[in-house]
Amino acid sequence: MKPIQYILLFFIVPLVSQGASKTIQPSRTLEVACLEKLSLREFNGKMFPQRKQGGNPRKKGKILLFDGSMDGNRQVDPQIAVGGGVVFHATNAGMIIYDKTGKYIDGVRSVAFNKGIDPKVLYSIQNKTFLFDIWQYWDKEKKKPVNLSLSKTQDPTKGWNIYPISIPEGRDGGGLGCSSKWIGYTFPGGKDNTFVLRFADAKKGKKITVYFFHGHFGQPALTQGRGEELYFLKITPRKIKISRVRSNPDGTPYIEVLSEKENTLKYRNPARPAPQKGSDVPVAAGARNPKNLIYQGGDLWFSHIVKCNGRSAILWHQLGIDGHFKQTGIISSPSSYYIQPTLAVNRQKDLIIGFQETNEKMFVSPRFTFRLHTDPPGKTRKIISLGEGEGAIEKTTWGDYSGSVIDGDNYLDLWTIQSRANKKGRGETVIARIPFSKIKRVKEGK
């Protein structure tokens, strides 16, 4: 009789119905010890060489521009997070810190964070902590750890905690998010494609419990308010699903599916790679699922790539957690292809969308657009150039990411990092600060 009870429990625990919602319990857990770093460039008792890239601050009107990493290949994977008076920047090659005027502070290659590529970088406003992941898929043990790193303070030049979380069946393309209480990660490959852990335990450097869940719940959100709940969004051509992490009475997490509705968006098909000047090699446009997701003011904000009139275009949204779209906008062109977008929104619900532009007569070039919260719903302003590409890339895979974030110190200014192709077709980056704090004062003064 006991074996039968055990089998029934195995199938009942993962999925429980509570009223109209659906809840999923963890499928397994993993205990992970902390690898402590004393400073940005220290690891395992060794000091690593300084990585120095970028700088060169300049102005375009009221927009501050400066260079980020300049040593990229065709896959730069550029990311930024802003808080504690600094800009923390990461690419596949490593990490760099600037002050908020574009002055270089420090930097190191990714080997000082237990090695890895494909970074995603966040700043938790509530916990005053930088966090990022890099994935090491080539380790001899074949554990393929996601090296999740958290700064001990809001000063990223000082100590860090690293947690190598094994995902042996994982593949490239993970997503990172957090709330004040939870850190969440999703990835393709295998069956348990989602895991969460407690933020407080990881920041303290404790041995953490990682809770894995069966299935892929989409992109996890960065919560910019005070909420403890961590949200996920998954988009397919047929469905749009919203989920969130909550706590059981014993403190362990479960995932609640809040909404799973038919995808009725006018544009919902993925876009093909885009053409570029000087080459027959097309350029990857980006994924149908968002590359970043923001929970701000009770809503989910995001952008993604779709096919519009035969070209790659950007669709952006303000989506309620009940699955109701509050506003949607399309950014498209009759002659150009827009690729690799990310969105940032501030506490007043002003937003920017950073992306790149390319076509048969243009190399891959960095761009952004913006809107004020007082603008008509679904409308963005004129597209602004952050520079021009100078060469054709060699292979279709390009960039894979861009980054757009809130300023974690004033909650008003918005930042973006975008790639451009240099004369050799390699990836360089430019970082821009769009000063909404000043824009508001000027407008109100008038």
| Radius of gyration for the alpha carbons in the chain, expressed in angstroms and rounded | 21
The C-alpha atoms of residue 19 and residue 32 are separated, in whole angstroms, by 35
Q: Count how many Cα atoms sit within 13 Å of the Cα of residue 353 in the half-sphere of its side chain.
A: 33
pLDDT at residue 439, rounded to an integer: 74
pLDDT at residue 97, rounded to an integer: 98
pLDDT at residue 19, rounded to an integer: 39
Would you state the torsion angle of the CA atoms of residues 121, 213, 399, 397, taken in this order, to the nearest 10 degrees? 160
pLDDT in tens, the chain (446 residues): 333 332 222 333 344 433 347 999 999 999 999 999 999 999 999 999 999 999 999 999 999 999 999 987 767 899 999 999 999 999 999 999 999 999 999 999 999 999 999 999 999 999 999 999 999 999 999 999 999 999 999 999 999 999 999 999 998 889 999 999 999 999 999 999 999 999 999 999 999 999 999 999 999 999 998 889 999 999 999 999 999 999 999 999 999 999 999 999 999 999 999 999 999 999 999 877 899 999 999 999 999 999 999 999 999 999 999 999 999 999 999 999 999 999 999 999 999 999 999 999 999 999 999 999 999 999 999 999 999 999 999 888 877 789 999 999 999 999 999 999 899 888 899 999 999 998 754 444 44
361: which 2 tokens? 């007569």
pLDDT at residue 75, rounded to an integer: 74
* Residues in a beta bridge with 259: 242
Would you state the torsion angle of the CA atoms of residues 174, 176, 182, 187, taken in this order, to the nearest 10 degrees? -10
Domain 53-445 CATH assignment equals 2.30.33.40: no
The C-alpha atoms of residue 209 and residue 96 are separated, in whole angstroms, by 30
The C-alpha atoms of residue 181 and residue 230 are separated, in whole angstroms, by 8
Q: What tens digit of pLDDT does each residue of 322-365 get?
A: 999 999 999 999 999 999 999 999 999 999 999 999 999 999 99
Would you state the torsion angle of the CA atoms of residues 213, 317, 381, 437, taken in this order, to the nearest 10 degrees? -60
pLDDT at residue 444, rounded to an integer: 45
Q: What is the DSSP string of 50-72?
A: PP---EEEEEETTEEEEE-----
Q: What are phi and psi of 352, to 5 degrees?
A: -130, 155
pLDDT at residue 7, rounded to an integer: 29
351: which 2 tokens? 């937003």
Helix, strand, coil shares, percent, the chain, to 5 = 5, 50, 45
Q: Which residues contact 421 (CB under 8 A, 6 or more apart)?
A: 276, 363, 364, 365, 389, 390, 391, 392, 393, 427, 428
Buried b (16+ CB within 10 A) or exposed e, 81-100: bbbbebbbbbbbbbbbbbeb
Tokens 């603008």 appear where? 375
The C-alpha atoms of residue 416 and residue 436 are separated, in whole angstroms, by 13
pLDDT at residue 291, rounded to an integer: 92
pLDDT at residue 442, rounded to an integer: 45
